[in-house]
Amino acid sequence: MSREPGQRLIVKDRINSEEDAHYFNEMYEDQMEWTVSTRKRLYRKMELFHAKTILEVGSGTGAILREIQTINPRARLVGLDWNLFALKFSQVESLSPNSICGNGELLPFSDNNFDITLCNYFLMWVKEPLAVLKEMRRVTRIGGWIACLAEPDYGGRLDYPASEQWEELLLESLSAHDPYIGRKLRSLFHKADLQVEVGLQSSVLSPDIVMDLYKAEFDKLAHFLGENSAKLAKLKYILETYSPADRFSFMPVFFGIARKI
Ligand SMILES: C[S@@+](CC[C@H](N)C(=O)[O-])C[C@H]1O[C@@H](n2cnc3c(N)ncnc32)[C@H](O)[C@@H]1O
Protein backbone atom coordinates (compact mmCIF):
# COMPACT_ATOMS: atom_id res chain seq x y z
CA MET A 1 0.00 0.00 0.00
CA SER A 2 1.27 3.45 -0.81
CA ARG A 3 1.37 5.19 2.60
CA GLU A 4 4.83 5.37 4.17
CA PRO A 5 5.48 2.59 6.70
CA GLY A 6 5.54 4.00 10.20
CA GLN A 7 3.38 7.00 9.33
CA ARG A 8 0.76 7.58 12.00
CA LEU A 9 -2.89 8.07 11.23
CA ILE A 10 -5.63 9.73 13.21
CA VAL A 11 -7.12 7.25 15.64
CA LYS A 12 -10.84 7.34 16.37
CA ASP A 13 -12.54 5.09 18.89
CA ARG A 14 -14.56 2.73 16.76
CA ILE A 15 -17.01 1.31 19.30
CA ASN A 16 -19.29 4.08 20.51
CA SER A 17 -22.53 2.24 21.27
CA GLU A 18 -23.97 -1.17 22.10
CA GLU A 19 -24.87 -1.54 18.43
CA ASP A 20 -21.23 -0.90 17.41
CA ALA A 21 -20.14 -3.53 19.93
CA HIS A 22 -22.40 -6.12 18.23
CA TYR A 23 -21.17 -5.11 14.78
CA PHE A 24 -17.47 -5.28 15.71
CA ASN A 25 -17.91 -8.49 17.67
CA GLU A 26 -19.16 -10.18 14.50
CA MET A 27 -16.15 -8.84 12.63
CA TYR A 28 -13.70 -10.03 15.32
CA GLU A 29 -15.27 -13.49 15.26
CA ASP A 30 -14.88 -13.65 11.46
CA GLN A 31 -11.24 -12.56 11.73
CA MET A 32 -10.66 -15.29 14.29
CA GLU A 33 -11.83 -17.93 11.82
CA TRP A 34 -9.12 -16.90 9.36
CA THR A 35 -6.30 -17.42 11.84
CA VAL A 36 -7.64 -20.34 13.90
CA SER A 37 -5.15 -23.08 13.01
CA THR A 38 -1.99 -21.17 13.93
CA ARG A 39 -3.64 -19.79 17.07
CA LYS A 40 -4.43 -23.33 18.26
CA ARG A 41 -0.80 -24.30 17.65
CA LEU A 42 0.32 -21.33 19.76
CA TYR A 43 -2.13 -22.33 22.52
CA ARG A 44 -0.54 -25.80 22.56
CA LYS A 45 2.97 -24.35 22.69
CA MET A 46 2.03 -22.17 25.68
CA GLU A 47 0.23 -25.14 27.31
CA LEU A 48 -2.80 -22.92 27.62
CA PHE A 49 -4.85 -25.94 28.65
CA HIS A 50 -2.90 -26.10 31.96
CA ALA A 51 -2.65 -22.36 32.68
CA LYS A 52 -4.33 -21.13 35.86
CA THR A 53 -4.37 -17.41 35.12
CA ILE A 54 -4.62 -15.79 31.69
CA LEU A 55 -4.79 -12.11 30.80
CA GLU A 56 -5.85 -10.72 27.43
CA VAL A 57 -4.82 -7.11 26.92
CA GLY A 58 -7.14 -5.23 24.54
CA SER A 59 -9.77 -7.94 24.86
CA GLY A 60 -12.49 -5.95 23.04
CA THR A 61 -15.80 -7.79 22.95
CA GLY A 62 -14.24 -10.92 24.44
CA ALA A 63 -14.15 -13.12 21.31
CA ILE A 64 -10.72 -14.59 22.14
CA LEU A 65 -11.59 -14.98 25.84
CA ARG A 66 -14.69 -17.01 24.93
CA GLU A 67 -12.56 -19.30 22.76
CA ILE A 68 -10.04 -19.76 25.59
CA GLN A 69 -12.87 -20.46 28.02
CA THR A 70 -13.99 -23.45 25.94
CA ILE A 71 -10.40 -24.80 25.84
CA ASN A 72 -9.60 -24.21 29.51
CA PRO A 73 -12.76 -23.62 31.55
CA ARG A 74 -10.88 -23.83 34.87
CA ALA A 75 -8.51 -20.92 34.29
CA ARG A 76 -9.07 -17.49 35.82
CA LEU A 77 -9.50 -15.28 32.75
CA VAL A 78 -9.06 -11.54 32.84
CA GLY A 79 -9.83 -9.21 29.94
CA LEU A 80 -8.59 -5.64 29.93
CA ASP A 81 -9.80 -2.97 27.54
CA TRP A 82 -10.44 0.76 27.77
CA ASN A 83 -13.68 0.73 25.78
CA LEU A 84 -16.70 0.43 28.09
CA PHE A 85 -19.17 -0.68 25.39
CA ALA A 86 -16.81 -3.50 24.34
CA LEU A 87 -16.21 -4.48 27.96
CA LYS A 88 -19.91 -4.56 28.73
CA PHE A 89 -20.56 -6.77 25.69
CA SER A 90 -17.73 -9.08 26.79
CA GLN A 91 -19.06 -9.26 30.35
CA VAL A 92 -22.60 -10.15 29.23
CA GLU A 93 -21.61 -12.69 26.55
CA SER A 94 -18.89 -14.52 28.47
CA LEU A 95 -19.59 -16.88 31.31
CA SER A 96 -17.09 -15.75 33.89
CA PRO A 97 -14.15 -13.60 32.78
CA ASN A 98 -13.24 -10.60 34.86
CA SER A 99 -13.46 -7.47 32.75
CA ILE A 100 -11.20 -4.61 33.72
CA CYS A 101 -11.30 -1.13 32.28
CA GLY A 102 -7.72 0.07 31.86
CA ASN A 103 -4.90 1.14 29.59
CA GLY A 104 -2.69 -1.60 28.13
CA GLU A 105 0.29 0.71 28.42
CA LEU A 106 -0.02 0.79 32.23
CA LEU A 107 -1.47 -2.48 33.48
CA PRO A 108 -3.19 -2.34 36.89
CA PHE A 109 -1.66 -5.63 38.11
CA SER A 110 1.29 -6.51 40.31
CA ASP A 111 4.43 -8.17 38.90
CA ASN A 112 4.53 -11.91 38.08
CA ASN A 113 0.77 -12.35 38.19
CA PHE A 114 -0.29 -14.39 35.13
CA ASP A 115 0.76 -17.70 33.57
CA ILE A 116 -0.07 -16.32 30.12
CA THR A 117 -0.47 -12.73 28.94
CA LEU A 118 -1.61 -12.35 25.37
CA CYS A 119 -3.14 -9.97 22.88
CA ASN A 120 -4.77 -10.29 19.46
CA TYR A 121 -5.03 -7.58 16.77
CA PHE A 122 -4.05 -5.09 19.45
CA LEU A 123 -0.57 -3.57 19.10
CA MET A 124 -1.49 -1.87 15.81
CA TRP A 125 -4.04 0.21 17.73
CA VAL A 126 -1.87 1.47 20.57
CA LYS A 127 0.26 4.57 20.77
CA GLU A 128 3.16 2.93 22.60
CA PRO A 129 3.39 -0.77 21.65
CA LEU A 130 6.75 -1.16 23.41
CA ALA A 131 5.25 0.08 26.68
CA VAL A 132 2.48 -2.53 26.27
CA LEU A 133 4.95 -5.37 25.70
CA LYS A 134 7.06 -4.33 28.68
CA GLU A 135 3.93 -4.30 30.83
CA MET A 136 2.85 -7.70 29.48
CA ARG A 137 6.28 -9.05 30.45
CA ARG A 138 6.17 -7.47 33.91
CA VAL A 139 2.79 -8.97 34.90
CA THR A 140 3.68 -12.46 33.59
CA ARG A 141 5.29 -14.91 36.03
CA ILE A 142 8.79 -16.24 35.35
CA GLY A 143 8.42 -19.26 33.08
CA GLY A 144 5.11 -17.92 31.78
CA TRP A 145 4.31 -16.87 28.21
CA ILE A 146 3.78 -13.57 26.43
CA ALA A 147 2.06 -13.77 23.04
CA CYS A 148 0.86 -11.44 20.34
CA LEU A 149 -1.35 -13.86 18.47
CA ALA A 150 -2.07 -11.78 15.36
CA GLU A 151 -0.76 -8.45 14.11
CA PRO A 152 -1.15 -7.55 10.42
CA ASP A 153 1.13 -5.59 8.15
CA TYR A 154 -0.85 -3.72 5.52
CA GLY A 155 2.36 -2.91 3.62
CA GLY A 156 2.55 -6.54 2.52
CA ARG A 157 -1.02 -6.86 1.31
CA LEU A 158 -1.47 -8.21 -2.20
CA ASP A 159 -4.68 -7.80 -4.14
CA TYR A 160 -5.68 -8.94 -7.58
CA PRO A 161 -7.26 -7.08 -9.27
CA ALA A 162 -5.40 -4.29 -7.45
CA SER A 163 -7.22 -1.09 -6.55
CA GLU A 164 -5.16 1.72 -5.07
CA GLN A 165 -8.33 3.63 -4.30
CA TRP A 166 -9.68 0.76 -2.24
CA GLU A 167 -6.38 0.34 -0.39
CA GLU A 168 -5.97 4.05 0.38
CA LEU A 169 -9.50 4.37 1.71
CA LEU A 170 -9.16 1.21 3.72
CA LEU A 171 -6.13 2.61 5.53
CA GLU A 172 -7.95 5.90 6.15
CA SER A 173 -11.01 4.18 7.55
CA LEU A 174 -8.94 1.78 9.63
CA SER A 175 -7.34 4.67 11.49
CA ALA A 176 -4.93 2.39 13.35
CA HIS A 177 -1.83 3.87 14.97
CA ASP A 178 0.47 1.58 13.02
CA PRO A 179 -0.86 -0.57 10.15
CA TYR A 180 2.75 -1.72 9.59
CA ILE A 181 3.24 -3.18 13.09
CA GLY A 182 3.69 -6.78 11.83
CA ARG A 183 7.26 -6.26 10.60
CA LYS A 184 8.21 -4.59 13.90
CA LEU A 185 7.20 -7.45 16.23
CA ARG A 186 10.68 -8.98 16.48
CA SER A 187 12.30 -5.67 17.35
CA LEU A 188 9.59 -4.78 19.89
CA PHE A 189 9.94 -8.09 21.74
CA HIS A 190 13.73 -7.72 21.68
CA LYS A 191 13.49 -4.24 23.18
CA ALA A 192 11.18 -5.63 25.87
CA ASP A 193 13.94 -8.12 26.77
CA LEU A 194 12.10 -11.14 25.36
CA GLN A 195 13.52 -13.83 23.09
CA VAL A 196 10.78 -14.11 20.54
CA GLU A 197 9.67 -16.58 17.92
CA VAL A 198 8.04 -14.57 15.13
CA GLY A 199 5.98 -16.31 12.49
CA LEU A 200 3.29 -15.85 9.91
CA GLN A 201 -0.35 -16.60 10.66
CA SER A 202 -1.61 -16.14 7.15
CA SER A 203 -2.44 -18.57 4.45
CA VAL A 204 -3.93 -17.84 1.05
CA LEU A 205 -7.64 -17.23 1.52
CA SER A 206 -10.19 -19.32 -0.38
CA PRO A 207 -12.42 -17.46 -2.90
CA ASP A 208 -15.36 -17.50 -0.44
CA ILE A 209 -13.33 -15.98 2.38
CA VAL A 210 -11.79 -13.41 0.02
CA MET A 211 -15.32 -12.26 -0.83
CA ASP A 212 -16.25 -12.18 2.88
CA LEU A 213 -13.17 -10.05 3.50
CA TYR A 214 -14.04 -7.61 0.70
CA LYS A 215 -17.64 -7.40 1.85
CA ALA A 216 -16.58 -6.72 5.44
CA GLU A 217 -14.16 -4.05 4.22
CA PHE A 218 -16.83 -2.54 1.97
CA ASP A 219 -19.20 -2.37 4.95
CA LYS A 220 -16.57 -0.59 7.00
CA LEU A 221 -15.93 1.84 4.14
CA ALA A 222 -19.68 2.50 3.77
CA HIS A 223 -19.76 3.32 7.48
CA PHE A 224 -16.74 5.59 7.09
CA LEU A 225 -17.73 7.35 3.83
CA GLY A 226 -21.51 7.46 4.27
CA GLU A 227 -23.97 5.51 2.12
CA ASN A 228 -24.38 8.26 -0.51
CA SER A 229 -20.74 8.97 -1.21
CA ALA A 230 -19.62 8.97 -4.86
CA LYS A 231 -16.43 7.16 -3.80
CA LEU A 232 -18.56 4.42 -2.31
CA ALA A 233 -20.36 3.95 -5.64
CA LYS A 234 -16.97 3.43 -7.34
CA LEU A 235 -15.93 0.91 -4.71
CA LYS A 236 -19.23 -0.92 -5.16
CA TYR A 237 -18.44 -1.16 -8.85
CA ILE A 238 -15.01 -2.64 -8.04
CA LEU A 239 -16.61 -5.11 -5.63
CA GLU A 240 -19.22 -6.26 -8.14
CA THR A 241 -17.10 -6.36 -11.29
CA TYR A 242 -14.92 -9.39 -10.56
CA SER A 243 -16.13 -12.85 -9.71
CA PRO A 244 -14.81 -14.54 -6.55
CA ALA A 245 -12.86 -17.04 -8.65
CA ASP A 246 -10.84 -14.23 -10.27
CA ARG A 247 -9.98 -12.50 -7.02
CA PHE A 248 -6.93 -12.88 -4.86
CA SER A 249 -6.12 -11.18 -1.60
CA PHE A 250 -3.29 -11.87 0.80
CA MET A 251 -2.67 -10.08 4.07
CA PRO A 252 0.43 -10.95 6.08
CA VAL A 253 -0.60 -11.43 9.70
CA PHE A 254 2.25 -12.15 12.12
CA PHE A 255 2.54 -13.63 15.60
CA GLY A 256 5.20 -13.22 18.26
CA ILE A 257 5.58 -15.53 21.25
CA ALA A 258 8.15 -15.60 24.05
CA ARG A 259 8.75 -17.18 27.42
CA LYS A 260 9.70 -14.99 30.38
CA ILE A 261 13.01 -16.30 31.69
C1 LIG B 1 -9.26 -4.74 17.13
S2 LIG B 1 -9.80 -4.80 18.80
C3 LIG B 1 -9.32 -6.45 19.23
C4 LIG B 1 -10.23 -7.11 20.22
C5 LIG B 1 -9.84 -8.55 20.61
N6 LIG B 1 -8.47 -8.66 21.00
C7 LIG B 1 -10.15 -9.51 19.49
O8 LIG B 1 -9.24 -9.95 18.77
O9 LIG B 1 -11.34 -9.85 19.31
C10 LIG B 1 -8.68 -3.77 19.67
C11 LIG B 1 -9.15 -3.40 21.07
O12 LIG B 1 -8.12 -2.67 21.73
C13 LIG B 1 -8.69 -1.68 22.56
N14 LIG B 1 -7.64 -0.69 22.87
C15 LIG B 1 -6.95 0.10 22.01
N16 LIG B 1 -6.00 0.79 22.66
C17 LIG B 1 -6.07 0.41 23.98
C18 LIG B 1 -5.32 0.73 25.14
N19 LIG B 1 -4.29 1.59 25.09
N20 LIG B 1 -5.64 0.15 26.31
C21 LIG B 1 -6.67 -0.74 26.37
N22 LIG B 1 -7.41 -1.10 25.31
C23 LIG B 1 -7.11 -0.52 24.12
C24 LIG B 1 -9.86 -1.17 21.77
O25 LIG B 1 -10.82 -0.57 22.62
C26 LIG B 1 -10.37 -2.47 21.11
O27 LIG B 1 -11.37 -3.07 21.89
Which DSSP string do the residues of 186-254 spell out, in sequence order? Answer: HHHHHHTT--EEEEE---PPPHHHHHHHHHHHHHHHHHHH-TT-HHHHHHHHHHHHS-GGG-EEE--EE
Q: 256: helix, coil or strand?
A: strand
Confidence grade of residue 96 (pLDDT, cut at 50, 70, 90): low
38 within domain boundaries: yes
196 within domain boundaries: yes
> Is the previous residue joined to 108 through a cis bond, with omega within 30 degrees of 0?
no
135 within domain boundaries: yes
Report the domain count for the chain: 1
The pTM of this model reads: 0.89
The three-point CA angle 69-90-219 to 5° equals: 115
How many angstroms does the Cα of residue 244 sit away from the middle of ligand 1?
A: 31
Q: Which of 30, 125, 127, 132 to mutate to test the pocket of ligand 1 (most atoms within 8 A of CB)?
A: 125
Confidence grade of residue 78 (pLDDT, cut at 50, 70, 90): very high
pLDDT tens, residue by residue, 235-246:
888 788 878 888
The three-point CA angle 55-216-25 to 5° equals: 30
pLDDT tens, residue by residue, 132-188:
999 999 999 999 999 999 999 999 988 888 878 788 888 887 778 999 999 999 999
Neighbours of 215 (CB within 10 A): 12
Question: How would you classify residue 64: left for phi > 0, otherwise alpha for psi between -120 and 50, otherwise beta?
Answer: alpha
The CATH number assigned to the domain holding 57 equals 3.40.50.150
Confidence grade of residue 87 (pLDDT, cut at 50, 70, 90): very high
62 CB within 6 A, ligand 1: no
45 within domain boundaries: yes
Domain that holds residue 189: 18-153+177-204+252-259
Give the pLDDT confidence score for residue 3 in this predicted structure: 41
SS3 assignment for 145-170: EEEEEEEECHHHCEEECCCHHHHHHH
99 within domain boundaries: yes
For residue 66, give Cα distances in angstroms to 51, 82, 243, 255.
Answer: 15, 18, 35, 20
49 within domain boundaries: yes
* Nearest residue (CA) to ligand 1, atom 13: 58
161 within domain boundaries: no
214 CB within 6 A, ligand 1: no
